[in-house]
Structure 1
């Protein structure tokens, strides 16, 4: 009995030990665990709120005051008469809320309107309004002959490139251009109607060709590269987020494989770095193929620009794109560990997505960093493959490869740093165990 009492009082911590799966959260002996739990949970939640305001503000800011800047537009007057003068003055004097119009001399385009369209395809401007040669003389001839076949839309052509930025075209370029041209056409029609009041064949004109009186001039929109593949929205914007998420899955899978197998503790630093790079690159090569085949399965046409090789270029673009975004995550997870890398993932997604929804030119200038981020360059290259827009594949691939190269440098450096710290911690633990063992030996 005495021995039992002595044992109980000599080990009071046994009285406070928690039997597995037996405690309630409010028990007294859970006080320390509760304190740690709330410290971690509340602290991490607070960090999430800070990250939300710091990072989400980037995307909100990109859409807050749009457009923060106007897009450049051209007006080219091949007519050199009444219609041309009215259109040029109307556009130049229109409020520059979305497009700033600049008159380009007709002499700059020896091939006529076709040369203007070619320059829009080459992205030298976002939109161009062309007043065709002899537009005024054709209108006057139609009045004289009461030509019932006259069509006012033949006077003006608008050249645009929807596939360059479908959101920019639909929400900024087309509404602004149409609004300005409709106002110009109405003003011209009113002035022209006053001139017609004195013509001798007015009655015949109203009977045979009333459109000449009602709408003497109008316009036609020549969408040089229409965004006519609906599935492409998934590839050029939302799919980029999926590409990044897939890359993050590979990063987590590789980390789990290293931890479960124990190779991270057994391999040398150099060997571990080689394994990480080799397996990650191989995984991205295969995953990017199946990701590309998903679009192929939904009958996306990759042959418009590069023929049969278009799909292979698309696959390589996705492969290099996954390397660009995925190796950055692979590198940062080494330094931040799995606990904090989600915060980097949040920053990585938002900074990439914020510059892909609208043309960078209309965003505040701080967003010009977007020209160098992976998402923007992948999106631009995809548009070239799918819609035959301006070919900057060399630049796009080059920027992506720079991101790959940066990660190929930082990953070994971070791995070396973390291995060195890990080895130092193991040495300290070994020394501490050795001191305890030596102390126990000396007491004996």
Structure 2
């Protein structure tokens, strides 16, 4: 508060409060506080709305992939092959045909034994070759061996050799533990009970003597053996072929974001380089960065004793390293392309989409998911995961195809990065020209103003001389 002293009185003059930092409340009414609050709320509310939309659109994709997963089990094929041709074969086939037809059940198919020229040994090869998900084989001569055992009251009869159930856990350990193993073994109790009842009725009076000498031939003449051809026996592999894929994408995102900040926000080199030189930098940098990061990422698994030599020997680690490098390029170059347009402000929203699109198709088999998820066969996660399973567990070898899909993603990014960068460069050049034009206009106006001031000064000096002369 200030005062002005007069001859007879003092007059008070109010001074506005100083706009000092660290001194305001959230709801202060002064202009600066209201403007700051409005500037704060605008991006926060906008981001909240966008996240809300992401939850209901992008995240819904993952929820949808797991919503009715059991309703798609009928898309998975199981084979039943009767190499016996006797009563055991017909009983087992009947049980499995009673356990198919619903959407929540595996589609069982009876395959003639004649389609396996190599005999029973060809069936597990078909399972490993992923021609079917699971299979049941009734051993050749199983009914005859049982009849011979009954006739001789053989106490050493092996009832589990009659039927073999074939599974392949390493193809998809989640599907195997959730439903494949259950549906593979599920019909067998019915077959065992039905066959035991049928046999006891056929034995008649001989059943009493067999119960005393070889009770198994009466009470349990039929059993089975479950063979898991490729068990998921590397626990740390979960961190390699599923969760590790998410980490691979996150690492690619961090590298792409750091590359953008160094190129645009810190050094400004993107505005100094010619367009072709800028593209060279944009390609060389991520290829080099991902080459090293994929190496140390692969070494991490090697440190924890992941056996990369099961399928391809010592070359397995190198193949996995190249697979990780290709995967990082397929994932990271897409981020490199999109961050050009979206900038760091909006690229996290694309990252969420990119993660969900990939993760939704690798937990369960794509075949059992709704039809829209068939795109999964072309995703980087699916192909890196499939090739990794081949390296670690020796599943069906489609490594060449998997690399081909990853190369296709890399190729797409090699097209989109120059395209998007060209659009941005065009805007930058336009903005620069506009700025330069404004600067030139300002300089012209300044020059004209100075010239005008000079003319005025000259005229004034002339007038003064004339007055002096007079």
Q: What TM-score do the two structures reach when normalised by structure 2? A: 0.88
Q: Counterpart in 2 of 1:136?
A: 143
Q: Give the corresponding residue for 2:89.
A: 84
Equivalent of residue 397 in structure 2, options 391, 407, 410: 391
Give the equivalent residue in structure 1 for 2:153: 146
Instruction: Answer yes or no: is the 8 Å Cα contact 2:290–2:329 preserved in 1.
Output: yes
Q: Distance in 1 between matches of 2:48 and 2:433?
A: 35
Query: What is the total number of aligned residue pairs between the two structures?
Result: 430
3-state SS in 2 of match to 1:225: coil
Q: 1:163 to 1:33 in 2, by over 3 A?
A: same
Alignment CA distance shift 1:316-1:147 (3 Å): same
C-alpha contact 2:99 2:105 (8 A) present in aligned 1 = no
Displacement, 1:331? 0.6
**Range with bigger deviation, 353-362 or 24-33:** 24-33
Please give the alpha-carbon distance, in whole angstroms, between the structure 2 residues aligned to 1:439 and 1:92. Answer: 93
On the 8 A contact 1:68/1:364 being kept in 2, the answer is no
Task: Report deviation, 1:225.
Answer: 1.0
* Corresponding residue for residue 3 of structure 1: none
The 3 A distance-change label for structure 1 pair 17 and 360 is farther
Q: Is the 8 A contact 2:78 2:135 kept in 1?
A: yes
Correspondence 1:186 to 2:193: yes
Contact kept, 8 Å, 2:138 with 2:162, in 1: the verdict is yes
Is contact 1:98-1:172 (8 Å) kept? no
When structure 1 is superposed on structure 2, of 215-224 and 329-338 the one drifting more is 215-224
The answer for the alignment partner of 1:5 in structure 2 is none
Partner of 1:424: 430
Aligned to 1:48: 51
Q: Is the 8 A contact 2:100 2:108 kept in 1?
A: no
Q: 1:407 aligns with which of 413, 432, 442?
A: 413
**Structure 2 partner of 1:105:** 112
SS across alignment from 2:242:
helix
SS at match of 1:76: strand
Question: In the alignment, does 2:235 pair up with 1:234?
Answer: no
**Further displaced range: 139-148 or 283-292:** 139-148
Shift of 1:434: 4.3
Shift of 1:158: 1.1
Identify the residue that residue 299 of structure 1 maps to in structure 2. 305
| TM-aligned CA deviation for residue 213 of structure 1 | 2.0
Q: Distance in 2 between matches of 1:231 and 1:17?
A: 63
Distance 1:16 1:186, change over 3 A: farther
Compute the TM-score of the two structures, normalised by the length of structure 1: 0.93
Identify the range of structure 1 (346-355 vs 89-98) with the bigger mean alpha-carbon deviation.
Answer: 89-98
Question: Which 5+ residue runs of structure 2 have no aligned equivalent?
Answer: 1-14, 454-470
Matches within 5 A, 1:119-134: 119-134=126-141
- Match of 1:64, SS state, is coil
Once the two structures are TM-superposed, the CA of residue 439 in structure 1 deviates from its matched residue by 5.0
Report the equivalent of 1:322: 328
CA change 1:104–1:284 in 2 (3 A) is: same
The superposition leaves residues 198-247 of structure 1 with CA deviations (integer Å, 9 ceiling, x where unpaired) of 143x3332133222222211111111111110011111100000000010
Task: Specify the alignment match of 2:8 in structure 1.
Answer: none
CA distance in 1, matches of 2:437, 2:40: 31
Matched, 1:290 2:296: yes
Which of 376, 379, 404 is the aligned partner of 2:385? 379
With over 3 angstroms needed to count, the CA separation of the structure-2 counterparts of 1:315 and 1:176, relative to structure 1, is same
- In angstroms, what is the RMSD of aligned CA positions? 1.9
Counterpart of 2:468 in structure 1 is: none
Q: Choose 94-103 or 172-181, whichever is displaced more.
A: 94-103
Q: Is the 8 Å Cα contact of residues 62 and 367 (structure 1) preserved in structure 2? A: yes
Q: CA deviation at 1:30?
A: 1.2
Give the corresponding residue for 2:163.
156
CA-to-aligned-CA distance 1:1-50 (integer Å, 9 cap, x gap): xxxxxxxxxxxxx9698444444332222111211211110111011010
What is the Cα deviation at residue 441 of structure 1? 5.8
The reply on whether 1:57 has 2:64 as its aligned counterpart is no
**Counterpart-to-counterpart distance in 2, 1:151 and 1:373:** 47
Larger Rg belongs to: 2
